[in-house]
Amino acid sequence: MASELKYLSGFGNEFQSEDPRCPGALPQGQNNPQKCPYGLYAEQLSGTAFTAPRSENQRSWLYRIRPSVLHQPFEKVKNGHVTHDWNEQPPNPNQLRWKPFDLPKAGEKVDWLQGLHTVCGAGDPRTRNGVAIHVYMCNAPMGDKAFYNADGDFLIVPQQGTLHITTEFGKMTAEPNEICVIQQGIRFNVSVLEPSRGYILEVFDNHFHLPSLGPIGANGLANPRDFLTPVAWFEDRDIPEYQIISKYQGQLFEAVQNHSPFDIVAWHGNYAPYKYDLANFMPVNAVRFDHCDPSIFTVLTCPSNKPGTAVADFVIFPPRWAVQEHTFRPPYYHRNCMSEFMGIIYGKYEAKEEGFQPGGASLHSMMTPHGPDSQCYEGAVTDPLKPTLIADGTQAFMFESSFSMAVTKWGFDGCQKIDPAYFKCWQTLKKNFNPHWRPEK
């Protein structure tokens, strides 16, 4: 399947694409002609307000076989383990760590939507202000079912297994060490050929942007040309009962229609799903002394209305060289006015090599202290400071948010993956204070 896929390159570009089976399907010169080529319907999908500044305005024009309004009424369905009820559990400021989340059991068929579980979050999609963090564990295709999120954007981080995603804009795959973003309102279907697991960052407020580079200059971190958007692909398929699932105000609703929703023959605009290979990230770091803040590893950011403060940042800790002099190289001990949810795709995270496992996670809440475990600290203050390749064979990431996260009932109890011994990784840190120490002359 991957060899058949084609992509458009660049972040936030004004793209145009048509399925080669219908040349000329994309109208020229105007968006909404009286009669579209091939008898298609014109439909606009708006990701921002009509009057948003041009530099921020996001919308796409879709030319489809049937308009998306052609469905039966939506009806409420069971939510499964998706929730935005942040009052399910009493607050807990402790450091939390989850062991790897369980994949579906043998003989059990679970598709991507059925395997979606909310771990934590904050805010309210009704007022478009907040975030949610989910995990998914699945082993079966979605079949004749499509999903769209009316509440916000999904940033999907596969950890195990490849996702084969069909969207209204075309097809794409997302493998471990790749991410994909599917924005608010875009319908998609996920198929898997093997047990799959991963993480999702959902934002209600805004869309993801590349961070400003400031004094770094024009290049570095995630470069726009490395983001890929699918090209137009359609299917004209009549189906007696095709399910359209909507996540609306934190609840799931289902409508039935008699055809595939993936019938867009051509499209143009700058509001489209995209993917990115984390191996293309170009780290920038100190080369003399001291330790940069983790913000230097930001791939994408969803800004808030407060300058310099994000609704959520997606940050990675990729393989990179550490060459600083007279510097404590691991992550420093820290208390933060942000919430930090971490996951690991593969390998061993350098600050906690033993307990932090691929497919698991941790949450360090606002102003709760955290940092390297005892073993990492002892090694860091005694190892010779020669150039060292750190995080080799490892990819860890962080969802960092200005919202104070509440953990769901499933996240605390239902998954049964909380590590009660997490706090012990710091308990053997020694008191090294020596009041008689004097600098050498």
Compute CA distances 206 → 12, 51, 127, 191, 319, whole Å: 14, 15, 12, 27, 30
Whether 194 is catalytic is no
Q: Which residues contact 204 (CB under 8 A, 6 or more apart)?
A: 123, 124, 125, 128, 129, 130, 131, 132, 151, 152, 311
What does the block give as tokens for 325?
A: 């002099």
Write out the H or E segment, with its range, that includes residue 62. Answer: strand 59-64
What does the block give as tokens for 52?
A: 């948003």
Of the residues 14, 325, 334, 354, which is catalytic?
334
Of the residues 178, 340, 350, 400, which is catalytic?
340
Of the residues 168, 202, 370, 400, which is catalytic?
370
Of the residues 88, 209, 254, 291, which is catalytic?
291
CA distance 366 to 337: 5
Helix/strand/coil (H, E, C) string of 417-429?
CECCCHHHHHCCC
Per DSSP (E only), the strands in 270-309 are 274-277, 298-303
Q: Cα–Cα–Cα angle for 380, 381, 384, nearest 5°?
A: 80
Helices (H), 356-421: 374-382, 409
Compute CA distances 351 → 98, 194, 277, 326, 432, whole Å: 16, 31, 24, 18, 20
Residue 424 sits at φ, ψ, to 5 deg, of -70, -15
Whether 268 is catalytic is no
CA distance 415 to 107: 19
Task: Indicate the SS3 state at residue 135.
Answer: strand
Whether 334 is catalytic is yes
CA distance 230 to 252: 27
Whether 117 is catalytic is no
Of the residues 84, 207, 364, 400, which is catalytic?
364
Whether 207 is catalytic is no
CA distance 179 to 208: 13
What does the block give as tokens for 178?
A: 């790749």
* Enzyme catalytic residues: 291, 334, 340, 364, 370
